[in-house]
C-alpha cells in the first residue's frame, strides 16, 4: 500500500490506468483519467492498493488485475474507486482486495469505511457480504450516456 503524500511511481499509475480503461461501464463516466488519479495521490490524504492476478501485489513489470483508491479523513476511510479487470472477475480478487483495504484501514485506526455506488451496480453484493449497509442516497446523481438518471447510494461499514 502506498502511503499518502508519497509520489506515486509512474508504473503504478500505469497499472491503475490499464485496469481503469477496461473496468468501468463507459455509459456512466465513472472512470477517472490519469490526471485525476495522480492529483488525488499527490494532493490528498489518498492511498492506493494493487492486486495481481495471483492475489499478491504485482511484481515489477507485472500488470495489476485490480486496484483500490482510498482517502482517509480523520477516522473514516472512503473507498473512492475500486475495480477488477473484467478478465479476472469472479475469482475472488475483488473480495481479497476489499479485505486487504479494510484490514489496512482498521490497522490505521479508522472506525468506518464509506463508499458511494451507482444504484444497481452488482458490486453491491460484494459490499453487503463485507458488512456494508446503505446509509444514504443522492437521487438522480448519475446520468448515463442515454440520459437515464440513477441514484447514488452511500454505504458504510463499521470497522470496530
Ligand atoms: C465489483 C468488482 C470489483 C468485483 O470484482 P471481482 O473480482 O469480480 O469480485 P469477487 O470475485 O471477489 O466476488 C466476490 C463476491 O462478490 C459478489 N459479486 C461480485 N461480482 C458480482 C456480480 N457481478 N454479480 C453478483 N455478485 C457479485 C459475489 O458474491 C462474489 O462471490 P462469488 O463469485 O463466489 O459468487 C468488479 O465487478 C468490478 O471491477 N466492477 C466494475 C467497477 C465497479 O463498478 N466498481 C465498484 C464501484 S462502486
Q: pLDDT tens digits, residue range 19-59? A: 999 999 999 999 999 999 999 998 778 999 999 999 999 99
Is 116 part of the annotated catalytic residue set?
yes
Q: How many residues does the chain have?
A: 160
Residue range 4-28, pLDDT digits in tens? 445 567 799 999 999 999 999 999 9
**Other CB atoms closer than 10 Å to residue 41's CB: what's the count?**
21
Is 127 an active-site residue?
yes
Task: Give the pLDDT confidence score for residue 5 in this predicted structure.
Answer: 45
The residue contributing the CA closest to ligand 1 atom 38 is 83
Q: In 3D, which of 61, 48, 81 has the Cα closest to residue 11? A: 61
Residue from 5, 25, 23, 3 nearest 15 by CA: 23
In degrees and rounded to multiples of 5, residue 30 shows phi and psi of -85, -20
| Tens digits of residue pLDDT in 101-121 | 999 999 999 999 999 999 999
d(CA 105, CA 112): 8
CA–centroid distance, 123 to ligand 1, in Å, is 5
Please report the domains of the chain, with CATH numbers, ordered by start residue. 10-115 (3.40.630.30)
For ligand 1, pick from 123, 124, 128 the residue to mutate: most ligand atoms within 8 Å of CB: 123
| Ligand 1, atom 11, residue with closest C-alpha | 90
Distance CA 116, CA 49 (A): 18
Q: 76-84 and 112-118 as β-strands: parallel, antiparallel, unpaired?
A: parallel
pLDDT at 108: 94
Report the distance separating Cα 22 and Cα 136, nearest Å: 28
Cα Rg for the chain, rounded, in angstroms? 15
pLDDT of residue 67: 98
Q: What's the pTM?
A: 0.94
CA of 124 to the centre of ligand 1 (A): 8
Amino acid at each position: 500500500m502506498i502511503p499518502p503524500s508519497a509520489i506515486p511511481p509512474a508504473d503504478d499509475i500505469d497499472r491503475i490506468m490499464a485496469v481503469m480503461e477496461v473496468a468501468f461501464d463507459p455509459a456512466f463516466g465513472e472512470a477517472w483519467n490519469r490526471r485525476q488519479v495522480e492529483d488525488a495521490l499527490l494532493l490528498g490524504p489518498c492511498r492506493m492498493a494493487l492486486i495481481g492476478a495471483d492475489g499478491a501485489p504485482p511484481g515489477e513489470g507485472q500488470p495489476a488485475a485490480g486496484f483500490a483508491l482510498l482517502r482517509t479523513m480523520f477516522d473514516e476511510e472512503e473507498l473512492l474507486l475500486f475495480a477488477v479487470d473484467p478478465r479476472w472477475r469472479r475469482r475472488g480478487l475483488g473480495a481479497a482486495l476489499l479485505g486487504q483495504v479494510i484490514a489496512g484501514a482498521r490497522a490505521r485506526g479508522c472506525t468506518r469505511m464509506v463508499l458511494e455506488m451507482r444504484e444497481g451496480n452488482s458490486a453491491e453484493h460484494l459490499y453487503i457480504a463485507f458488512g456494508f449497509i446503505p446509509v444514504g442516497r443522492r437521487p438522480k446523481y448519475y446520468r448515463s450516456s442515454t440520459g437515464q438518471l440513477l441514484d447514488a447510494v452511500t454505504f458504510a461499514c463499521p470497522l470496530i
